[in-house]
A = this chain, B = another copy of it.
Amino acid sequence: MTSGTRFLLAARQCEIAELEQLARTSALVGVIGRFVHALQRERGMANIFLSSRGARFASQRTQQVADGAAAEAEVRAAFDGLDTEDAHARNGSRLFSRVALVLHALDGLPRLRERIAAQALRAGEATAAYDKLVAALLAVVFEAADAATDPEISRALVALFNFMQGKEFAGQERAFGARAFAAGTIDAAGQEHWRHLVAAQEGCLQVFTDFSDAEVLQAERAAQDPEALAQLERLRRLGFGTRGALDAELSDAWYAQCTRRIDGMRALEDLLAARLRGLCERRIAQARTELRDQRTMLEAFAAQARAADPATLAAYGPHLERSVLALVQEQARRLQAMGDELDEVRASLNERKVVERAKGLLMAHRHLSEEDAYKALRQMAMNQNRRIVDVAQAVLSLAEVLPGG
């Protein structure tokens, strides 16, 4: 085997190793989805419990905490199963660093639950703590999507990440609405925040739609009950459509309606995660078959070259050489095409990064909260009739030229 063909096969083996790592992180994503779902329920219940001064959802909350323990154990086990000894894990530094953040946030969870049970903190504070933990878990999913080198898998991960993030905004809306209804009142800032949560959901679900195939989109439509959606919109109208007093009795109905929708999303999320695992397995099997075929072909070429007498070799040698060259060129072309497609898929991840960076800049320099920074970007985008990512890019460019910016 010439050294050229050694590199040809090594390239294919690297591809397989990358796919195997993607399969492992994809499995992790599924486990994270289950735990996030439990935390989202727990957050919603904690909100009603605290807003109603312990009058509602006391036992359901305790039960939910107990139910979430299995999912937490699964996540911890999945993290423990990550090979931290493999210093060559793709994107390992960022992934492991995100995992460390999650584990530290998890260590604070028992204390948070104690304080909620003792009603020692406000509903908004409890929400913020859960939001942070869920954000840390979703950041692990984002790193997994960011590390994907196969365009088809990257596409599936981008769709799944945006779906999970959209579901999280739906969960935040559930908690916020439940708190507002239970409190029986809402002010202008609260209404604005509620609207923001709806818009953010819709933005994420739009990206999910853009990156999903017909089968997934059909499953999504099938999972939606139009009547339930109409109910939700009616409650939204009663919740933030008009200012002032809210009907506290609607708190349970709101929680139940949102929960029906979010549980439906959870089922679809499971489907997406299962399809992702299936996709990884198919791509690995395919790459292995191709590696085997390639190796067989190269060995046949080599055997022919060895067996041939000088005259035959003179005639066939260039032919064999051209066959190997065709293989090498075909592989380079395929990787190039995959890289091009990957760049396109990743554009949506990069857009998210640009927005995050602009948010960070506004937070640091204008002393805004994360949410207010996002709102400022959204407002600028609306005023200028531009996309948020374009406004974010403009903010970053401006910062580069402004002194001390």
Which residues of the other chain, B, contact A9 by a CB distance below 8 angstroms? 84
Contact present for B357 and A79 (CB under 8 Å)? no
* A228 cross-chain contacts in B, Cβ below 8 A: none
Judged by a CB distance under 8 angstroms, whether A124 is at the interface is no
Min CB gap A144→B, angstroms: 15
Residues in B whose Cβ lies below 8 Å from that of A395: none
Query: In the bound complex, do residue A93 and residue B7 qualify as a contact, i.e. CB atoms below 8 Å apart?
Result: no
Docked complex: A323-381 residues within 8 A CB-CB of B: 324-325, 328-329, 331-332, 335, 339-340, 343, 350, 353, 357
Q: Is the CB of A7 within 8 A of B324?
A: no
Query: A196 within 8 Å of B by Cβ?
Result: no
B14 engages A100 (CB within 8 Å): no
**Interface size class for chain A?**
35 or more
- Contact A340 to B357, CB < 8 A, known contacts A7-B84, A96-B11, A97-B8: yes
Does residue A18 face the partner (Cβ distance < 8 Å to B)? yes
Q: Within 8 Å CB of A107, what residues of B?
A: 2, 4, 321
Among A1-40, those with CB < 8 Å from B are 2-18, 21
- A218, B268: Cα distance in complex, Å: 60
CA distance A338 to B383 in the complex (A): 32
- Taking each of A17, A80, A93, A103, which has the highest tally of chain B beta carbons within 10 Å of its own beta carbon? A93
* A72-106 interface with B by 8 A CB criterion: 76, 79-80, 82, 84-90, 92-101, 103-104
Secondary structure at the A interface, as helix, strand, loop or mixed, is helix
Question: Are the CB atoms of B350 and A97 closer together than 8 Å?
Answer: no
A10 to chain B: closest residue by CB: B84
Min CB gap A266→B, angstroms? 27
Given A3-B76, A14-B87: A97 in contact with B331 (beta carbons within 8 A): yes
- Which chain B residues lie closer than 8 Å to A8 at the CB level? 96-97, 100
Known interface pairs A84-B10, A88-B90, A90-B90; A97-B3 also in contact (CB < 8 Å): no
Q: In the bound complex, do residue A353 and residue B335 qualify as a contact, i.e. CB atoms below 8 Å apart?
A: no
A14 to B350, CA, bound (A): 23
Whole-angstrom distance between the Cβ of A389 and the nearest chain B Cβ: 13
Known: A4-B103, A340-B357. 15 other contacts (CB 8 A): A4-B107, A8-B100, A14-B89, A14-B92, A21-B88, A88-B88, A94-B339, A97-B332, A98-B332, A100-B328, A100-B332, A101-B329, A101-B332, A104-B324, A104-B325
Interfacial residues, chain A to chain B (CB-CB below 8 A): 2-18, 21, 76, 79-80, 82, 84-90, 92-101, 103-104, 107, 149, 321, 324-325, 328-329, 331-332, 335, 339-340, 343, 350, 353, 357
A-B complex: 9 closest residue pairs judged by Cβ atoms: A14-B92, A10-B84, A88-B88, A4-B103, A17-B87, A11-B96, A7-B100, A11-B97, A14-B93
21 pairs of residues in contact across A and B, judged by CB atoms under 8 Å: A2-B103, A3-B76, A3-B103, A4-B103, A7-B100, A7-B103, A10-B92, A11-B92, A11-B96, A13-B84, A14-B88, A17-B87, A17-B92, A21-B88, A93-B149, A93-B335, A94-B339, A97-B332, A100-B332, A104-B325, A340-B357
